[in-house]
Amino acid sequence: MSYLVLKTIHLIAVVCWFAGLFYMGRLFIYHKEAELKDKSTKKILQNQFKLMANRLMSIITWPATIISSFFGFYLLYQNPILIELDWMKVKLVIVSILIIYTILTQVILNQLNKNEIKLGDFYLRIWNEGATLLLISIISLAVIKTSVSWINAILIFIVTTLVLLILIRAYKLIKKD
């Protein structure tokens, strides 16, 4: 297979991986919010959210994680000079964090399946935005590479994080009313 075909497969898998993580976070929040419903509605909603979350993780998120990782490392094998570039080293660190994030998402799903989810809806919203920050970081590194200084990149990341936290807090305040 050509390098561009491999890269295309890798990118499609990355998109699916993030789609799974984004929706999984929403399902966690919906499951938590269902606790406020009456008993029968709560049971119906939470059972449906569990079913959806388990299918999402096993049919989309984990396969996309594996395919993306395999083709990503295969691309590095095909073009080993990339591993010597600073931006690629940072990207690989962030991808490692993304893999840990995915594993921890599975841990939260396992808690949800046992009805023992330990995080409140506010923290689940923050958790959900973790995937957004990782996506911004990975895509920015892959596209911008060395065109921007590391200090500017870190500042942009911090500002983006603060904006997301402010929006989460604002939503919580609006939701109370």
Q: What is the DSSP string of the chain?
A: --HHHHHHHHHHHHHHHHHHHHHHHHHHHHHHHGGGS-HHHHHHHHHHHHHHHHHIIIIIIHHHHHHHHHHHHHHHHHSGGGGGSHHHHHHHHHHHHHHHHHHHHHHHHHHHHTT---S-HHHHHHHHHHHHHHHHHHHHHHHHTTSS-HHHHHHHHHHHHHHHHHHHHHHHHHHH-
pLDDT-based confidence at residue 98 (cuts at 50, 70, 90) = very high
Dihedral (C-alpha) 40, 46, 52, 53: value to the nearest 10 degrees?
-170
Amino acid letter, 51: L
The model's pTM = 0.87
Euclidean distance between CA atoms 64 and 52, whole angstroms: 17
Q: Can you tell me the distance from the alpha carbon of 136 to that of 22, in angstroms, rounded to the nearest whole number?
A: 13
Q: Count of domains in the chain? A: 1
CA dihedral 137, 138, 144, 150 (to 10 degrees): 50
- Stretch 91-109: mean pLDDT, rounded? 95
pLDDT digits (tens, 9 = 90+) for 46-55: 999 999 999 9
Structural domain that includes position 111: 3-176
Asked if residue 62 has pLDDT above 90, the reply is yes
Burial of 78 (0-12, 13-18, 19+ CB in 10 A): middle
**Separation CA 68–CA 28 (nearest Å):** 24
Position 177 pLDDT exceeds 70: no
Q: How confident is the model at residue 165 (pLDDT cuts 50, 70, 90)?
A: confident
